[in-house]
Amino acid sequence: MLKCVFRLGEFDKAKSFAGFEISGHAGYGTEGNDIVCAAVSSCTMLVCNAITENFGANAEVTVEENRISLELCKPSSEAQKLISALYQHLETLSEDYTNIKVSVI
């Protein structure tokens, strides 16, 4: 099961996405051939790299085996929009692949 947990933070008195953590395995295919894991990993790395490298947002990214997280250190409207886009994308994938669980805390 892939667990995708998105965190809300209070920036400028409005709640918006402040980070996320994605962990686990989809178990859809064998290691190296799991298209669900590949899709989730690819879009997650795209968002992390865009936030930190392209937009230069102040964010802490942690990458471990079977886990990646991103936490915004200060507000960034571009970063928050990218996190929201990732959330929407994973929600859409979870409709077709029940081994993806998306939640917001």
Q: What is the pLDDT of residues 76-92, one digit of tens each?
A: 999 999 999 999 999 99
CA angle (104, 8, 105) in 5-degree steps: 30
Q: What does pLDDT average to over the chain?
A: 94
CA-wise closest residue to 71 among 81, 82, 58: 58
d(CA 51, CA 68): 14
In the DSSP assignment, the letter for residue 87 is H
- pLDDT of amino acid 98: 93
Give the per-residue pLDDT at 80.
Answer: 94
CB 99, CB 28: distance < 8 Å: yes
Computed over its alpha carbons, how large is the radius of gyration of the chain?
13
Say how far apart CA 68 and CA 61 lie, in whole Å. Answer: 7
When divided into structural domains, the chain yields a total of 1
User: What would the pLDDT profile of 61-73 be if each residue is shown by its tens digit?
Assistant: 999 999 999 999 9
What pLDDT is recorded for position 94?
A: 97
Q: Where residue 72 sits, what CATH number does that domain have?
A: 3.30.70.1490
> Residue 6 sits in which domain range?
2-104
Q: 57 pLDDT exceeds 80?
A: yes
Q: What is the pLDDT at residue 12?
A: 61
pLDDT at residue 30 tops 80: yes
Q: Of 51, 69, 50, 53, nearest to 61 (Cα)?
A: 69
